Structure formats: structure tokens, C-alpha cells
């Protein structure tokens, strides 16, 4: 019973991804840092460059908007790069 309680504690400590600079994103079993760059652009994107993820986002977006859009972009990125052979 104690092991089940310990496992439940570990499950409960997983934090959702916030998509802020310095955060680590997993890819192929490794963690890579994210760099969010605000700029005068219309939409967000995600690229993997030189051992890190780079995410340009519009200046005027709230953190909630950044989090939502980068999460969607990251899901798409994983799907595209996860199917490459």
C-alpha cells in the first residue's frame, strides 16, 4: 500500500509545460532548453536549432496566448519530426 501512495505522489508532481524561456522540452529521450523570443511578428513558430528550441512569438500576446499557441505548435512539431525516418 505504501508503494501505491508513493507512486500517486510522483504522478501528482508533474507540472504542465508553461512555454517560457529556460524551460526544458523533451525530444528523443533528452531535454532541450526553450528560448522564447518576442518580436514584431503575426504568429508563433517553433524550430529546433543548435541543441535548443527557439520560439518566436508576437509582442502583444499574453502568457496564456503564448502557452496555448506554442503547445499547439509543439504538438505539430512532434508529429512531423516523430514520423521522419
* 23 domain residue, yes or no: yes
* 31 domain residue, yes or no: yes
Q: With left for phi above 0 and alpha for psi between -120 and 50, is residue 26 left, alpha or beta?
A: beta
* 3 domain residue, yes or no: no
Q: What is the pTM of this model?
A: 0.80
* 5 domain residue, yes or no: no
* 4 domain residue, yes or no: no
Per-residue pLDDT tens listing for the chain (85 residues) = 676 676 666 555 667 899 999 999 998 889 999 999 999 999 999 999 999 999 999 999 999 999 999 999 999 999 998 876 6
CB atoms within 10 A of CB 35: 14
Question: For residue 22, what are the domain limits?
Answer: 15-82
Amino acid at each position: 500500500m505504501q508503494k501505491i501512495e508513493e507512486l500517486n505522489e510522483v504522478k501528482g508532481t508533474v507540472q504542465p509545460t508553461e512555454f517560457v524561456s529556460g524551460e526544458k522540452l523533451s525530444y528523443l529521450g533528452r531535454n532541450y532548453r526553450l528560448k522564447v523570443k518576442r518580436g514584431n511578428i503575426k504568429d508563433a513558430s517553433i524550430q529546433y536549432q543548435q541543441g535548443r528550441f527557439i520560439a518566436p512569438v508576437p509582442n502583444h500576446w499574453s502568457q496564456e496566448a503564448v502557452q496555448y499557441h506554442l503547445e499547439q505548435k509543439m504538438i505539430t512539431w512532434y508529429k512531423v519530426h516523430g514520423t521522419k525516418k
